[in-house]
A and B are shown apart, each in its own frame.
Chain A
Amino acid sequence: MSKETPNLEYIKKLSGDDLAFEQKFIAILKDEFPVEKQEYIKTLREGKTNESALIVHKLKHKLNILGLEKAYGLAVTYEEELKMENTALNEEFSSILETIESYLKTL
Chain B
Amino acid sequence: MNCIIIDDEAAARAIVAQLCTSIPELDVIEEFSNAIDAIKFLNQHSVDLVFLDIHMPGFTGFDFVQTLKDPPKIVLTTSDTNFAIEAYEYEAIVDYLVKPITQERFTKSIQKVKNTLAQQPSRSKGEGNASSAGEDLYINIDRRLIKLTFDEILFIEAKGDYIDIKTTKETHRVHNTLKKIKEKLPEELFLQIHRSYIINFTKIIDIEDNSVLIEKSVIPISRSNRPELMRRLNLL
Closest B residue to A13 by beta carbon equals: B103
CB pair B10–A64 under 8 Å, yes or no, is no
List A contacts of B79 (CB < 8 A): 57, 60-61, 64
- Size band of the B side of the interface? 10 to 19
Contact with A along B79-113 (1 / 0, CB 8 A): 10000000000000000000110010000000000
From A21, A25, A29, A61, contact of B99 by CB (8 A): A61
Q: Are A64 and B100 in contact (CB under 8 A)?
A: yes
Contact at B14–A28, with CB atoms within 8 Å? Answer: yes
Residue of B nearest to A65 (CB): B100
A32 x B99 contact (CB < 8 A)? no
Query: Do B18 and A62 touch across chains, with their CB atoms under 8 A apart?
Result: no
- Number of residue pairs spanning A and B whose beta carbons lie under 8 angstroms apart: 45
- Interface residue SS majority, chain A: helix
The answer on a CB contact under 8 Å between A54 and B15 is no
A-side residues, CB < 8 A to B, are 10, 13-15, 18, 21, 24-25, 28-29, 31-32, 54, 57-58, 60-62, 64-65
Q: 10 closest A-B pairs (Cβ-Cβ)?
A: A64-B100, A61-B99, A61-B79, A28-B10, A28-B11, A32-B10, A58-B9, A65-B100, A28-B14, A21-B18
Besides A25-B15, A65-B15, 11 new A-B residue pairs in contact (Cβ under 8 A), listed by A number:
A14-B15, A25-B18, A28-B14, A29-B11, A32-B10, A32-B11, A57-B55, A57-B79, A61-B12, A62-B11, A65-B11
